[in-house]
Structure 1
Amino acid sequence: MNTLPNDHAARTARAALALDGLSVGDALGETCFRTHNWEAIQEDPHATTRGPWPFTDDTAMALGIYETLAECGGIDQDRLALRFAARYTAQPWRGYGAGAHRLLEQIGSGTDWRYAAERVFPGGSYGNGSAMRVAPLAGYFAESDYAEVAHQARLSAGVTHAHPEGLAGAVATAVAGAYAWKNRDARGDTATKRGLFDAVLAHTPPSDVRRGIERAATFSFDLSAEPHVRLLDYNFATRPFDVSIEPVVRLLGNGSRISCQDTVPFCLWVAALHLDDYRTAIVQTIRAAGDIDTNCAIVGGIVALATGRAGIPADWLTDREELVV
């Protein structure tokens, strides 16, 4: 039986905050595939379709992580696998990928997750699912050392995404979330935004994910770069949606390939640039298209840990489908 830490209630509250940031981004992002919301937001960042906004597998799996942390005080991989499978069995229509369908069906029928994961994804999956769901873990361990955050993130990813890129994507995203919390009081400072990349790169193992993050850090904050990527010179406070996102997408990706390599670097760039503004971070993420709901889940989970719940637009929280834990 696991012994819960003395500050378990505070940890769980932080995990719930991250879950709100993730799930609101996920649900709003998903509306862009079902309605004209994507076009409307380009014209008016406050224009969103009416709720309730159903969440996707991104939030369903994040709920599994949240529940495991609340129960165990850390990642117990066997229990996490069962949580994932139970939520899948109850609601398989949440938007799971084809591989996830096969894997979670097998786990739900009693197959050991280690065997099932290898059979479905020989060598491990490097899909962006390991990163899309990890924000509650970042919140729970936000006041721990980054090494512990990274360790727990690897455990959470390994149940379904054992490929080195899948592990790296989870680690990078979790460390970014923990950094956002640790530096929330200085979230508007350019130095704080730069520092997110330093913290993440210090703990992300060699991988294509890491190389993408290195590229994001270089062009995002190098003021001698070409004009179309010198975005920190731009006054986002007064004109936050006038800069073309296309050069950034070409350099970093936008999740269209559904891989950590093609998703995490871009999401960390948006989160760092808008660490003090949840709404702007989400709308800029939506503008990039691609895997919108997953991108917004990743960005939303990170930025909410910097802004707090008050930073998430109240009407967005109301419009998101209710979470049942």
Structure 2
Amino acid sequence: MTSLDLCSDSLDGLPVGDALGAQSFVPGTSLAALLDGDPPAGPWPWTDDTEMACSIVAELREHDRIDQDRLAARFAEHFEPYRGYGAGAVVLLRQIRQGIPWRDAAGAAFDGQGSMGNGAAMRVAPLGAFHAGDNRTAALQAWRSAEVTHAHPEAVLGAVAVAVAAAEAGWSRLTRSRPEPAELLDVVLAHLIDGRLMSGIVRARRLLGVSVAEAAYELGNGSQVLAFDTVPFALWVAATWLDDYPAAIHACVEADGDVDTTAAIVGGIVAAHTGSGPGGIPTEWLTRREPLPDQVRPTR
């Protein structure tokens, strides 16, 4: 497999998780039905998680690396507010579209602190898969992709953590050596620095083996829409069910909270390891997901 194959599989897994997770917010849709393997009829619309991930993948397909100015322009060009963007992201992307430099827009957010939201993490798994076998490059490129919209270090590190996990997931597929859950989290921790995000992933490592409910209670389920409330639980799920895509997505649904985002992160990481087929993305789910946008129409 090529790096682009792994990236494409991750991009299949991310939107399916995103779109299925978003169904939990549709009136009349039962969480129990989702957990029982009876998802609603399609098409399932995807959200801002997928839209921004597609811009990252388009950048990688055309240039093999992240150029921050180009990526900012892509984000602004393809920005559709009805996709579920947060208020801060709407303001920032409109500013970039109006010509305000992305560094100024991102740095001014939240009274000059920059956003510590989960947006940079939710979109980055395919980038990590693209750099399978090179965790350092995955981390650096994830950092660059995050800075375009998120100036706060916690948000940037959230993107780094997800990208490294996806890179390791893709590498374990190539080498046919599934890492133990603790091993996967150890690889991620080796690329982080002290902070709330790192502390959350340390806790996630200690909680391996507990129930989904307990893990979500201790780590958060994305309800605060912050990186350190979202990424540790998502990595706990991905590490636990790295070879079982449906079970991983079901765990995100069971945890409730910001389900589309946790399922997008988890789906992108796990699909880099499983692809489709047995243990991978169910064909039925792929066919019910809304088609991807023109900039990343699948080539296979």
TM-score normalised by the chain length of structure 1? 0.86
Matched, 1:315 2:287: no
Is the CA contact (8 Å cut-off) linking 1:102 and 1:120 kept in structure 2?
no
- In 2: Cα distance, 1:166 partner to 1:207 partner: 11
Q: Which residue of 2 aligns with 1:123?
A: 113
Q: Deviations over 1:137-177 (max 9, x none)?
A: 01111132x11111011000000112110111001000001
Q: After TM superposition, where is structure 1 displaced by more than 3 Å over at least 4 residues in a row?
A: none
Matched, 1:203 2:191: yes
Q: Which residue of 2 aligns with 1:238?
A: none
* Aligned amino acid, residue 136 of structure 2: A
- In 2: Cα distance, 1:115 partner to 1:162 partner: 10
- In 2: Cα distance, 1:21 partner to 1:245 partner: 21
- In 1: Cα distance, 2:262 partner to 2:77 partner: 25
Is the CA contact (8 Å cut-off) linking 2:72 and 2:96 kept in structure 1?
yes
Matched, 1:40 2:9: no
What aligned pairs does 1:237-248 form with structure 2 within 5 A after superposition?
Answer: 244-248=211-215
Tell me which structure has the larger Cα radius of gyration: 1
1:291 is matched with which residue: 258, 261, 272? Answer: 258
- In 2: Cα distance, 1:138 partner to 1:197 partner: 15
Superposition deviation, residue 277 in structure 1: 0.2
2:221 is matched with which residue: 244, 254, 262? Answer: 254
Paired residues, what number? 288
Q: Which residue of 1 aligns with 2:171?
A: 182
- In 1: Cα distance, 2:82 partner to 2:29 partner: 22
Superposition deviation, residue 256 in structure 1: 0.4
1:100 is matched with which residue: 89, 101, 125? Answer: 89
Superposition deviation, residue 83 in structure 1: 0.5
- In 2: Cα distance, 1:139 partner to 1:245 partner: 25
Q: Which residue of 2 aligns with 1:71?
A: 62
Unmatched 5+ residue regions in structure 2?
296-300
Matched, 1:276 2:264: no
- In 2: Cα distance, 1:306 partner to 1:15 partner: 11
Q: Which residue of 2 aligns with 1:241?
A: none
Unmatched 5+ residue regions in structure 1?
1-8, 221-229, 232-243
Superposition deviation, residue 110 in structure 1: 1.1
Is the CA contact (8 Å cut-off) linking 1:37 and 1:49 kept in structure 2?
no
Q: Deviations over 1:262-283 (max 9, x none)?
A: 0000000011100110000000
Q: Which residue of 2 aligns with 1:227?
A: none
- In 1: Cα distance, 2:216 partner to 2:4 partner: 34
Superposition deviation, residue 12 in structure 1: 2.4
* Aligned amino acid, residue 153 of structure 1: A
Superposition deviation, residue 136 in structure 1: 1.4
Is the CA contact (8 Å cut-off) linking 1:183 and 1:192 kept in structure 2?
no
Q: Deviations over 1:68-92 (max 9, x none)?
A: 111221010000000000111xx22
1:212 is matched with which residue: 174, 193, 200? Answer: 200
What aligned pairs does 1:221-236 form with structure 2 within 5 A after superposition?
Answer: 230-231=209-210
1:305 is matched with which residue: 263, 268, 272? Answer: 272
Matched, 1:110 2:77: no
Q: Which residue of 2 aligns with 1:14?
A: 6
Q: CA RMSD in A?
A: 1.3
Superposition deviation, residue 52 in structure 1: 0.2
* Aligned amino acid, residue 99 of structure 1: G
Is the CA contact (8 Å cut-off) linking 2:207 and 2:215 kept in structure 1?
no
Superposition deviation, residue 211 in structure 1: 0.4
- In 2: Cα distance, 1:118 partner to 1:194 partner: 35
What aligned pairs does 1:124-203 form with structure 2 within 5 A after superposition?
Answer: 124-144=114-134, 146-184=135-173, 185-187=176-178, 192-203=180-191
Q: Deviations over 1:194-238 (max 9, x none)?
A: 210110000012111100000110121xxxxxxxxx44xxxxxxx
- In 2: Cα distance, 1:131 partner to 1:292 partner: 14
Is the CA contact (8 Å cut-off) linking 1:168 and 1:207 kept in structure 2?
no
Distance change (3 Å), C-alpha of 1:15 and 1:131:
same
* Aligned amino acid, residue 269 of structure 1: W
Identity of aligned residues (%): 51
